[in-house]
Amino acid sequence: MVCRVVFFLCLFFSVSSKAQPVKNPGKVTAVSLQPQEIKITTQNGFAVITAYSPSVIRVRLNKQPLAKDFSYAVIGSPLVFKPRISQNADEIKLETDSLIVTISKNPFAVKFSTPDGKVINTDEPGLGTSWIGEEVTTYKTMQEGERFIGLGEKTGNLDRKGNSYTNWNTDAFGYTVNQDPIYATIPFYIGVHHGLNYGIFFDNSYRSNFNFGASNNRFSSFNANGGEMNYYFIFHQRVADIITSYTQLTGRITLPPLWSLGYQQNRYSYYPEAEVLRIAQTLREKQIPTDGITLDIHHMDAYKLFTWNKERFPDPAGMNAKLNKMGFKTTVIVDPGIKVEKGYASYESGLQSDIFIKYSDGQNYTGQVWPGWCHFPDFTSTKGRAWWKNEVTHYAKSGVSGLWNDMNEIATWGQNMPDNVIFDFEGNPVTHQQAHNVYALEMIRASYEGYRAALPNKRPFILTRAGYAGLQRYSAIWTGDNRAEEDHMLLGIRLMNSLGLSGVPFSGMDIGGFTGNGSPSLYARWIQIGAFIPYYRSHTGINTKSAEPWAFGEEVLEISRNYINLRYKLLPYLYSNFYEASVSGLPIMRTLALENTHDANVYDVRFQNEYNFGPSFLIAPYESKQVYAPMYFPKGKWYNFYNDSLELGAREKMLTLSMQQLPVFVKESSIIPMQSLIQTTADQPTDTLFLHVYKGDVKNEFVYYEDDGESYAYEKGAFYKRAMTYDPAAGTLVLAAPTGQSSSKFKWLQLILHGFEKLEDMQLDEIAFLQPISRFDPQGDATPPIQCRVQKITFPNEKEEITIKLK
């Protein structure tokens, strides 16, 4: 017995004496304090803690001395300010007005706290940051009741607690509702607990993994297969401010062309030219407002990029001129693969310019996609982007207004590009492992910059399937090859809401579903929802039935027309919200968690698909064949959009549903600008801007914005902007004097008041709701119920401040 005990003790000490396969930073051995930075050497590593702002702290950590700083995602620089930095024998402290960073010295660990000592986020004791080979992981203590939201284009529930996610851009044709990963990588999430909110952006482009308590009850973590531990910690009282700080780092959208916010019609594929023109003419004949038609890969000659199939499209410039005259803009698909074919102009010029990615032995990498065996431009090199920018002028000269960047994960048949393919990475060559996730970001950068150079007075529309953090600077994104299924429709909403939390305001999904054949009711519901998403495109695949609005019968056509009509009336509201996104980073589609972060009901799977469209609308999407469904109204008061009946917030209600009407509500105190119906943004609405004001108990400001919708003149002050403030305590609506060098296109303002008693001191007339949404309302009548008390007054759109008393 004694011998057995001795044996096991010997075995234990033998194993313990061996080198640990997990390496930690160990004890801090040296510290250098700078005005906004702390440089640290540990037993096994090197760290730098940088204060980017009072609310943003950057943490870098590596086994080797830190390399020269570089990021494709981050374009923001640290603000100049003076945090308080001190140290003693046990710890280092960095203090700002917003938070306290405490760095333990033995062992190295980081904790973030509020100024009054509440723990926001902390390294898990005993684990912290560590390496297993080249893989680097940071483990964070999982707080009681902590929720996790965001992380970009990720499937699953709004609250990501209990799950893990991989970031590796993937061609995910017909993906399932829980499949991971899919197309885009945005390694930024928001943690929520005990009335606190924080964001973590892990800027590492290697394959990474985020674990929010999957298979453990101790920690959340994030890791990458290589590179540094490099993350930004963001703390604010409001999630909206976290998004603003994150987009201060990674950039915000430039204003898109107005036409790109209109309805777009697409399928895989419309050809030949006669079919494209037939679709356009049918849209006009059936009075379905539309601004764009998209051409898929069949517009090319044998799928070769920067070519046109001469039989199908003998005169592309002429066709695009005809479409433009009808009020349509053309978007074409572009894939990165350049066919290996002697005599093919783009292939030959690519070889001559030496812009293709290569194996480690210098041979051009070849992968198979639509045209066959292809080479691929290296968008991480300046000469690769320059070559691409020159090539896309081919489309600009043909009258194409938009570029749809597809297959840019990079997708190849087999979906397994070798890791020994080398990318330039701005003169610092790296392998495919590090370049894969940023490839699409640099492709859309080249597309955007190429079109901006080719058409300096016209904003392009750039769309992408894949991307990395910062993609919002160049492009819109859509959620890829979805399915014509009810759960996919609702998943698309969660994907776009998550993208919005992750700094990407311009997103969309294929209305109707890309794969499979949806039912008429599904299409009707989907196109209703589409009126309240940023990018509004119907699309379907090559082996599916037609999926234009008229393909599902007269009733669905009428529903589609009604909601597309509504979209066009709401363009002043929508465009103003895009302006807001360009200055603050806030999304157009907003999960209810954005403003109701600590309300447990918004994370309930029954209600997690509800969202705000801008600050004013509450959209409640449901499967198309549901007859009854519960809805949750957040705090405040909510008006039924169709009849002005009032609902009190912070409660549930069972709704009776119909195929004809999407549940839509308006937040109290909202100011919603609308215009008259147009068939295309190339048309001018009437000279009256309708301002819908909803009575409420809270003060509210809406910033109305307009410009020419197509040029960059707004960057030099050619815009019209007006702050509008409803103050119920003062009983006023104040329209501030407009700013900007342009005049409004609206000569008159018509104030439309919802929920107010008749105002005797103003000459107002009670009227029915202007242009009802649907003829298929629950009452079976185009006229809303009698309780829809709406009043109006019309007055000149003057340049000075206007105050209107509402008492």
Give ranges for CATH 3.20.20.80 in the chain. Answer: 258-338+383-416+427-586
Q: What is the pLDDT of residue 759?
A: 64
Active-site hit among 241, 409, 424, 449: 409
Give ranges for CATH 2.60.40.1180 in the chain. Answer: 590-667, 671-805
736: which residues sit within 8 A by CB, 6+ positions away? 722, 723, 724, 725, 801
CATH number of 590-667: 2.60.40.1180
Separation CA 570–CA 704 (nearest Å): 12
Q: Which CATH number fits domain 28-250: 1.10.10.10, 1.20.120.1200, 2.60.40.1760, 2.30.29.30?
A: 2.60.40.1760
Structure tokens at 557: 């056509």
Separation CA 572–CA 568 (nearest Å): 9
Q: What is the pLDDT of residue 486?
A: 98
Q: How far, in Å, are 220, 228, 547, 723 from residue 210 at the CA level?
A: 8, 15, 38, 41
9: which residues sit within 8 A by CB, 6+ positions away? none
43: which residues sit within 8 A by CB, 6+ positions away? 25, 26, 27, 29
Give ranges for CATH 2.60.40.1760 in the chain. Answer: 28-250
CB 790 within 8 A of CB 753: yes
H/E segment holding residue 317 = helix 316-325
Separation CA 307–CA 696 (nearest Å): 57
Fold of 258-338+383-416+427-586: TIM Barrel (3.20.20)
Separation CA 410–CA 437 (nearest Å): 9
Going through 298-433 in order, the beta strands assigned E by DSSP cover 329-334, 338-339, 358-359, 367-369, 372-375, 402-405, 421-423, 430-431
Q: What is the pLDDT of residue 777?
A: 41
Active-site hit among 180, 228, 449, 481: 481
Q: Using the 8-state DSSP alphabet, how is residue 768 labeled? A: P
Q: What is the pLDDT of residue 789?
A: 62
233: which residues sit within 8 A by CB, 6+ positions away? 56, 57, 58, 59, 112, 121, 198, 199, 200
Does 481 participate in catalysis according to the annotation?
yes
Fold of 671-805: Immunoglobulin-like (2.60.40)
- Name the stretches of the chain with pLDDT < 50: 1-17, 763-787
Does 354 participate in catalysis according to the annotation?
no
Q: What is the pLDDT of residue 769?
A: 40
Active-site hit among 123, 378, 406, 668: 406
Separation CA 522–CA 524 (nearest Å): 5
Does 647 participate in catalysis according to the annotation?
no
